[in-house]
Amino acid sequence: MEYEEPKFFHVMQYAAAADGDVIDMVSGNPDWEPPAALREALREYADLPPADFQYPPSDGLRELREAIAERRGVDPDRVVVTNGTGEANYLAMARALDRGAGDEALLMDPVYPYYPGKTHLLGGEPTLVPTARDGGLDVDAVREAASEDTALIVLNTPNNPTGAVYDLDAVREVVGLAEAVDAVVVVDEVYDRFDLAGSFESALTLDSDRVIVTSGFSKSMAITGLRVGYGVFPEAHVGDAKTRHMLVNVTGARPSQYAVYHALAETEPDYYAQSRELLADRVDAFTDALDAAGAEYSRPEGAFYVLARFEGFPGTMANVKRLVDEAGVAGMPGEAFGTARDEWIRFALVTPRATEAAERLADYFADGAPETPADPR
Amino acid sequence: MEYEEPKFFHVMQYAAAADGDVIDMVSGNPDWEPPAALREALREYADLPPADFQYPPSDGLRELREAIAERRGVDPDRVVVTNGTGEANYLAMARALDRGAGDEALLMDPVYPYYPGKTHLLGGEPTLVPTARDGGLDVDAVREAASEDTALIVLNTPNNPTGAVYDLDAVREVVGLAEAVDAVVVVDEVYDRFDLAGSFESALTLDSDRVIVTSGFSKSMAITGLRVGYGVFPEAHVGDAKTRHMLVNVTGARPSQYAVYHALAETEPDYYAQSRELLADRVDAFTDALDAAGAEYSRPEGAFYVLARFEGFPGTMANVKRLVDEAGVAGMPGEAFGTARDEWIRFALVTPRATEAAERLADYFADGAPETPADPR
């Protein structure tokens, strides 16, 4: 599979250049307020002495690492603070692929496009493994795909793009399979605060030395631009992860880490509950309209996204562009997420206009799929 | 050569744990004020709407890229804003080593320890090339070392640790050698604002498609913790550099980029002149005291550092620890910088106590090198 990430930018540029009013449901940028304590800490930081403008420790500000470790119930020495969850995934996947234990990475299909991209960058070979119709983990498919060449299995729960929250027993079985073929399991839990159905359990509770958990604050604090993520590594891998982090980035940005530390310490659970409720309301309104449009969809158990399928209107780039031009709604083509959902379109619910977008879709598909334009040849 | 970076931390920890008062001349963190406009921009940022807390463009805020391009006299499309100069060097070295044009990296000796570390990470093989006694570029030595297997030549000017500023004609000759063996030349110019002798010229003036220039604001704005650097890539390499940047880091921290953009636009030349003068005064005071101590040294033409050699007291880790305990001054052992200066010790002049440290050294070495303690066996 090709590295597909540029498609995000392609759709966003197409939508921005469109004539009419287009509702952007492409990007995964939260549209709500960051925690008040985060803004306050940035203000405070601006007045700190010059020494506080210098390198934090390479693995992150000590108080931040300790706060993360406490929340996650792990030893602070296992935590590496990274430049967003993106870097944490890069370090974790590098660790798995650098052990001389094989080149193959098993990625669940549909797949977040950065995972195959990172796999190729690191010299690995991605293999897409089907998931269940609702996006849930298909342990038998993982078992069938796993071999001596498998070095890495990447899971993402709550899942982008399907909204599935993996059952912990299924994750445990996958970790068992990983053990049998000497693979490392990377579990990206960046949407853990958006557990809409209340069923999410972290893979850290498995307490396995095969599991690296990655996460960050981009989504939970509505700060994708601050770039604060982290990896929780087993003892055997944390030293190498820290070395790679140092050689690539030296360290992450200190104002961001300072602000996130204070926001983590001072933000009440209510803040997270409110964004979760906001999303749940949007899911209700959006799926009601999808019903009206006669679309198939799975109701997300977590994360920000709804995958929808409109009969006779597959999720190609061409159809996504038609939706931009003719319905005024921009989504992501399912074909950008591997092979499993090329009939589908992903809509990100991080816009205050989600309901309006849903109504536009309901109107557009009211009389079934629009005619396919005649082939110009 | 082993990856030596941890020695910095080893010496800093040793100095911090020492009984008496120790002057830290180990780390390269500026000790002066960042620009006022930078603090002001951070305050402003704290009150921006939520959309400004989300991902900046992957290659950096547009206005920042344009300001850098204007200062550097290049097309903005060639500029990638990175997480510090460290990431810029990683991207640049990766580009050189990823072309299938060989595995060898020529690094000038003495060498900044991150360069061999990054070379190994990227699957390359470092070869150390001697420089002149004063740290200047030895073009004949580069010619002798270059071969068909050479994919990368790394230069750093103004130089850490020697303080040498490379003659532009010598750099041009090295670029010519690179062309002959299909190598890429990475020129790290992060100390370009600390051109104490006024002789620095950027390698960008060579206008060569073999040259990648890296730099950043960590040193010039006294903000090593903000992590804003950049690479200026030839057209043929910029696309691949952007892809790797996206796959590793997605993008850099937006508050930091916002603050640096405003500081760049609003800071008068006077600010940079003042830090340069402060350093020049410290060089005078420090080298006077080295004269009094009977030490050999080269007067730095640029950057922050003085390399000094004390007769009968080579720059080993053991001797550096003795200086911490017996003289109250912490430097970096020359053996951490390759093979060329293992008799020497590096002192970073980014402390207000540089003069005091120099006096301590003068006192300590007043009657020649201290006796080597008897071997305990």
Chains A, B: CB contacts within 8 A come to 170
The whole-number pLDDT of residue B377 equals 44
pLDDT (tens, 9 = 90+) of chain A, 377 residues, equals 334 456 777 888 888 889 899 999 998 899 999 999 999 999 999 999 999 999 999 999 999 999 999 999 999 999 999 999 999 999 999 999 999 999 999 999 999 999 999 999 999 999 999 999 889 999 999 999 999 999 999 999 999 999 999 999 999 999 999 999 999 999 999 999 999 999 999 999 999 999 999 999 999 999 999 999 999 999 999 999 999 999 999 999 999 999 999 999 999 999 999 999 999 999 999 999 899 888 999 899 999 999 999 999 999 999 999 999 999 999 999 999 999 898 999 999 999 999 899 999 999 998 777 766 655 44
CB–CB contact B27 A55 (8 Å)? yes
The whole-number pLDDT of residue A3 equals 45
**ipTM for this prediction:** 0.95
Residues of A in contact with B42 (CB under 8 A): 42, 45-46, 255
What pLDDT digit, counting tens, does each position of B12-56 carry?
A: 888 888 889 999 999 889 999 999 999 999 999 999 999 999 999
The whole-number pLDDT of residue A42 equals 98
| Number of residues that this document lists for chain A | 377
The whole-number pLDDT of residue B298 equals 85
What pLDDT digit, counting tens, does each position of B54-66 carry?
A: 999 999 999 999 9
Please state, in angstroms and rounded to a whole number, the distance separating the CA atoms of residues A367 and A374: 19
The whole-number pLDDT of residue A28 equals 87
Q: Are strands A23-24 and A329-330 parallel, antiparallel or unpaired?
A: parallel
Please state, in angstroms and rounded to a whole number, the distance separating the CA atoms of residues A254 and A170: 38
> Is the Cβ of B83 closer than 8 Å to some Cβ of chain A?
yes
Find which of B97, B98, B214, B250 to mutate to test the A interface (most A CBs within 10 Å of its CB): B250
* pLDDT at position B369 over 80: no
Domains of chain A in start order, with CATH, are 6-33+270-364 (3.90.1150.10), 37-266 (3.40.640.10)
Task: Tell me the pLDDT band of B206, cut-offs 50, 70 and 90.
Answer: very high
Q: Tell me how far the alpha carbon of residue B138 is from its chain's centroid.
A: 19
Query: Which DSSP symbol is given to B219?
Result: T
Residue B233 sits at φ, ψ, to 5 deg, of -105, 145
The amino acid at residue A272 is Y
Partner residue facing A87 (CB), from B33, B223, B249 = B249
The whole-number pLDDT of residue B373 equals 60
Residues of B in contact with A244 (CB under 8 A): 121
Name the β-bridge partners of A348.
Answer: A305
The whole-number pLDDT of residue A292 equals 87
**Residue A340 burial class via C-beta count within 10 angstroms: exposed 0-12, middle 13-18, buried 19 and up:** buried
What pLDDT digit, counting tens, does each position of B138-180 carry?
A: 999 999 999 999 999 999 999 999 999 999 999 999 999 999 9
> Is the Cβ of B278 closer than 8 Å to some Cβ of chain A?
no
Name the β-bridge partners of B127.
Answer: B106
CB–CB contact B29 A55 (8 Å)? yes
Residue of B nearest to A85 (CA): B249
Which residue would you say has higher pLDDT here, A355 or B84? B84
The whole-number pLDDT of residue A19 equals 87
The whole-number pLDDT of residue A377 equals 45
The whole-number pLDDT of residue B207 equals 97
Which residue is it, tokens 């009440």? A268
Which residue is it, tokens 């992957």? B58
Range B100-126 average pLDDT:
96
Rg of the Cα atoms in chain A? 21
Q: Packing angle between helix A354-364 and helix A269-292, nearest 10 degrees?
A: 10
The whole-number pLDDT of residue B376 equals 44
The whole-number pLDDT of residue A372 equals 64
Task: Tell me the pLDDT band of B2, cut-offs 50, 70 and 90.
Answer: very low
> Is the Cβ of B252 closer than 8 Å to some Cβ of chain A?
yes
Q: Tell me how far the alpha carbon of residue A353 is from its chain's centroid.
A: 22
Residue of B nearest to A219 (CA): B54
What pLDDT digit, counting tens, does each position of A348-375 carry?
A: 999 999 989 999 999 999 877 776 665 5
H or E element that contains A167: none
Residues of A in contact with B52 (CB under 8 A): 225
Query: Which DSSP symbol is given to B162?
Result: T
Which residue is it, tokens 């500000």? A61
* Exposure letters A229-250 (e unless 16+ CB within 10 A, then b): bbbbbbeebbeebbbbbbbbbb
Q: Tell me how far the alpha carbon of residue A87 is from its chain's centroid.
A: 13
Find which of A8, A45, A55 to mutate to test the B interface (most B CBs within 10 Å of its CB): A55
CB–CB contact B248 A248 (8 Å)? yes
